Amino acid sequence: MLDPTSSEFREAAHRAVDWIADYFEKIDRFPVLSRVHPGDVQKQFADAPTETGKTYEALFSEFEQKILPGITHWNHPSFFGYFSITGSQAGVLAELLIAAINANGMLWKTSPALTELETLALGWLRDALGLPSNLFGIINDTASINVFLALAAAREALGLDVRGQGLAGRDLPALKIYCSEHAHSSVEKAALALGFGQSGVVKISGDDEFRMRPDLLEHAIARDRAEGVLPCAVVATAGTTSTGAVDPVRAVGAIAAREGCWFHVDAAYAGSATVCPEYRFLWDGIEAADSIVVNPHKWFFTPIDCSVLYTRRPEVLRETFSLVPEYLKTTDTAEINYMDYGIQLGRRFRALKLWMVMEHYGLERLRNVIRGHVGFAERLADELHKREDVEVISQSFSVVVFRLRDGDEATAALLERMNASGKLFVSHTKLHGQYGIRVAIGNGATEWRHVAEILAF
Ligand code: PLP
């Protein structure tokens, strides 16, 4: 047997849980950004694993001494880079149970609870976010994979039988996808993988507030049509990566509908904020969306990974991806078999952590924490506005972008100083050609005192 008894595990697991609780309580003692140099972690280890095994105790001390210094603490309340995230206590507990059960939800019957809890939790989330009730949801690992699936469905919805005949060697028009210049790079990556090519992605310029300009979208589509292109999909971003800007979903969706394009809305980050009714302006016009992405692993306190794809056209997703070999044929055809709606066969029980997060904290607490984050961002922007040496470029939801009036070099040097301090971590962006420091607030343990440290530099 691999594990003849559970006693060693029991002892080590208790210790690990104590370690995790201490980690949550005293995470401030770590520098946010790891200070190791390239290769530092790897060179501490032997060339091959042990033949005879090691105790959990020995491994634990290796974890603390060799591995932990190479960790950038995403769970630190002063992690403000990229999109800050939360491995919440409820989420961590669920991950432990998910690993222990180790069930694979490829078919309903391979673990009915996996499928049914996914359907249930995604229905709850959809309603909690105020999304239309006709949406079908599926959990995948990331928003990048979800936009890939959505654009594959978009391509299939054109009726060109790409599924059956592929793209190459056929007399087909060029297919194009339209998104804003501020859309996430995952749209372009999906286009690469799906055979649209980089030239198949048309980036529409944003306005002064970094929102896609519908008039330019209309022009681009008209110009392409005149050249024989077949527009396939339009992607709007509701909460862009750089600034949290919201594209005009209603106007963009109306153009997509008129042009017969699939309409995808990327709300990977800001979608979570709509658990608060006051942020539902984000969804104005959302009923036109064919697919929507929201990432609970960004701003909904669920440990990575957990990204939700909603669609009002699950039958298209299914027609695109369903392929059932003999050994997976089942008589439970009335049930959802999530393998039919994407690439992956095996699926983790991610729904358990989303369910645990919603049920343990309750929507009211989740709303209050999100409101707190937006409040911190507004206060930070207010404080920065008061400084003559600083220009606030944008503030939207919990994202603030600012620069020093002294220019790009001075701003980049300030960022380096902040990050080298170990006290906090911020990332950067470039807007209108100018370098900006970008602060994204989103960790469940963040308090104003953590954010205020930014002002001390
Ligand atoms: N969409 C937006 C707006 C994002 O900001 C990001 C990542 O930050 C993504 C998509 C990709 O997310 P994921 O890491 O889940 O693929």
CB 144 less than 6 A from any atom of ligand 1: yes
For 263-290, b/e burial (b = at least 16 CB within 10 A) is bbbbbbbbbbbbbbeebeebbebbebbb
What pLDDT shows up at residue 335?
87
DSSP designation for 67 = I
Q: What is the pTM of this model?
A: 0.97
CB 139 less than 6 A from any atom of ligand 1: no
User: What is the token pair recorded at 34?
Assistant: 């790891």
pLDDT mean over 24-49: 96
What pLDDT shows up at residue 125?
98
SS3 425: strand
Write the CB contacts of 192 (distance below 8 Å, at least 6 apart in sequence).
198
DSSP string of 12-62?
Answer: HHHHHHHHHHHHHHTGGGS-SS--PPTTTTGGGS-SS--SS---HHHHHHH
Strand partners for 400: 395, 439
Report the C-alpha gap between 300 and 302 in whole angstroms. Answer: 6
pLDDT mean over 108-112: 94
Ligand 1: centre distance to CA 268 (Å): 6
CB 307 less than 6 A from any atom of ligand 1: yes
Ligand 1: centre distance to CA 172 (Å): 31
Residues 262-306 have pLDDT tens digits of 999 999 999 999 999 999 999 999 999 999 999 999 999 999 999
Q: Tell which wins on pLDDT, 331 or 21.
A: 21
User: What is the token pair recorded at 206?
Assistant: 């944003």
CB 427 less than 6 A from any atom of ligand 1: no
CA distances from 85 to 98, 137, 185, 271, 310 (A): 20, 22, 19, 14, 21
List strand residue ranges (DSSP E) for 223-352, in order. 230-237, 262-266, 291-294, 307-311
Nearest Cα residue to 285 out of 205, 198, 214: 214
DSSP designation for 109 = G
Give me the amino acid identity at 230. L
Report the C-alpha gap between 362 and 257 in whole angstroms. Answer: 37
What pLDDT shows up at residue 174?
96
Q: What percent of the chain has pLDDT over 70?
A: 100
The answer, yes or no, to whether residue 94 has pLDDT greater than 90, is: yes
What pLDDT shows up at residue 359?
98
What pLDDT shows up at residue 421?
95
CB 213 less than 6 A from any atom of ligand 1: no
Query: Which of 85, 182, 298 should be mutated for ligand 1, with most atoms under 8 A from CB?
Result: 298
What pLDDT shows up at residue 414?
97
What pLDDT shows up at residue 332?
79
Residue with tokens 């036109």: 288
pLDDT mean over 79-87: 97
Residues 380-397 have pLDDT tens digits of 999 999 999 999 999 999
Query: Which of 144, 272, 304 should be mutated for ligand 1, with most atoms under 8 A from CB?
Result: 144
Ligand 1: centre distance to CA 185 (Å): 8
Q: What percent of the chain has pLDDT over 90?
A: 98
Q: What is the four-CA torsion angle of 161, 167, 172, 173, rounded to 10 degrees?
A: 110
- pLDDT band at 246, cuts 50/70/90? very high
pLDDT mean over 344-370: 98
User: What is the token pair recorded at 73?
Assistant: 């603490």
For 195-226, b/e burial (b = at least 16 CB within 10 A) is ebeeebbbbbebeeebbbbbebbbebbeebee
- Show the 3-state SS of 245-271: CECCHHHHHHHHHHCCCEEEEECCCHH
CB 179 less than 6 A from any atom of ligand 1: no
Nearest Cα residue to 63 out of 22, 19, 26, 27: 19
Which of left, alpha, beta for 53 (phi over 0: left; psi -120 to 50: alpha)?
A: left
Long-range pairs of 91-94 with CB within 8 A, sequence gap ≥ 24: 91/301, 91/302, 91/303, 91/353, 91/356, 91/357, 92/20, 92/303, 93/356, 94/352, 94/353, 94/355, 94/356, 94/357
